[in-house]
């Protein structure tokens, strides 16, 4: 049993998936592993995500200490997102997941023709 932020988890994988799991969080982390991006740039890279969902996912990743959110006092306001040092520790894992996807597609290619 693992306790984190007043929540009990049965195992470490359950906690991991709560923090970085889902359809969008790994994708957001992947793009931010490549460069610092503004909200609109992230939205363009993920056209199927709604603005509300992107906002929610960014807030969650920020609350869990995986991304930085920097607001510049400009007109119009500019907000940039980047990985924290903790977020950067996920990059090798994300790269492995990406490699796995390529291998999976190549090994199952005949199934999708």
Beta carbons of 69 and 79 less than 8 angstroms apart: yes
More confident call, 5 vs 13: 13
Mean pLDDT of 96-112: 84
Whole-number pLDDT of residue 111:
66
Residue 112 has pLDDT above 90, yes or no: no
The per-residue pLDDT of the chain, averaged, comes to 93
Mean pLDDT of 81-110: 92
Structural domains in the chain, sorted by start: 2-112 (1.10.10.10)
Residue 30 has pLDDT above 70, yes or no: yes
Whole-number pLDDT of residue 113:
52
Residue 72 has pLDDT above 60, yes or no: yes
């Amino acid at each position: 049993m693992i306790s984190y932020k007043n929540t009990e988890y049965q195992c470490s994988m359950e906690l991991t998936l709560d923090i970085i799991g889902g359809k969008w969080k790994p994708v957001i982390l992947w793009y931010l592993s490549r460069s610092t991006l503004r909200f609109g740039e992230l939205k363009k890279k993920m056209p199927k995500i709604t603005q509300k969902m992107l906002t929610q996912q960014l807030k969650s990743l920020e609350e869990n200490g995986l991304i930085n959110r920097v607001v510049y006092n400009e007109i119009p306001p500019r907000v940039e997102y980047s990985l924290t040092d903790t977020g950067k520790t996920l990059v090798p894992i994300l790269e492995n997941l990406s490699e796995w996807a390529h291998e999976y597609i190549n090994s199952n290619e005949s199934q999708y023709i």
